[in-house]
């Protein structure tokens, strides 16, 4: 297969797009890994908290003590949930920032490559058409100030 300027531009464009997709994929996988680690850590804390609460409830001797033990677990549980939400928002914000950086780094390059490929694809046929039309134009002369709109030769339309 012969390498033409168009195929080189196309290859460059495809490589640029592949690099962009690879970086987006790597960023997405890293974000999912962080999210999975956060969820595993939170699940572990949740199970440990539930086991601790169960042990405390089993150690209670009367029903009043059960109520106070349950009420005592509300604040630590809500703190764990609030902490999880903060960490979750940090992971999501970090993922968004990483994806934005990757897009900003590759989009101008991808845009330039696409513009160059498009310009090449449009200019080559136009240049060829111009070259084919050149012999016909050599024999013809055009008087831009003649014709029905410019009757009388004054240079102004009537």
pLDDT given at position 16: 84
124 three-state secondary structure: helix
pLDDT of residue 32 exceeding 90: yes
- CB contact at 8 A, 127 and 119: no
Alpha helices per DSSP H over the chain: 5-58, 63-72, 74-139
On the 0-12 / 13-18 / 19+ scale of CB atoms within 10 A, 102 is: buried
The more confidently predicted of residues 74 and 4 is 74
Please state, for a pLDDT cut of 90, what percent of the chain lies above it.
Answer: 29
Give Cα 30 distance to the centre of its chain.
15
pLDDT given at position 14: 87
pTM for the model stands at 0.58
């Amino acid at each position: 297969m012969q390498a033409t300027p168009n195929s080189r531009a196309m290859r460059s464009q495809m490589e640029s797009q592949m690099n962009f997709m690879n970086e987006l994929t790597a960023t997405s996988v890293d974000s999912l890994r962080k999210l999975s680690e956060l969820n595993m850590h939170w699940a572990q804390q949740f199970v440990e908290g539930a086991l601790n609460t169960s042990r405390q409830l089993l150690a209670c001797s009367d029903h009043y003590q059960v109520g106070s033990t349950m009420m005592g677990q509300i604040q630590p549980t809500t703190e764990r949930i609030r902490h999880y939400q903060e960490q979750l928002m940090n992971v999501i914000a970090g993922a968004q920032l990483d994806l934005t950086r990757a897009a900003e780094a590759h989009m101008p390059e991808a845009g330039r490559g696409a513009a160059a490929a498009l310009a090449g694809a449009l200019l080559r046929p136009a240049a060829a058409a111009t070259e084919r039309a050149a012999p016909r134009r050599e024999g013809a002369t055009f008087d831009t100030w003649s014709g029905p709109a410019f009757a009388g030769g004054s240079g102004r339309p009537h």
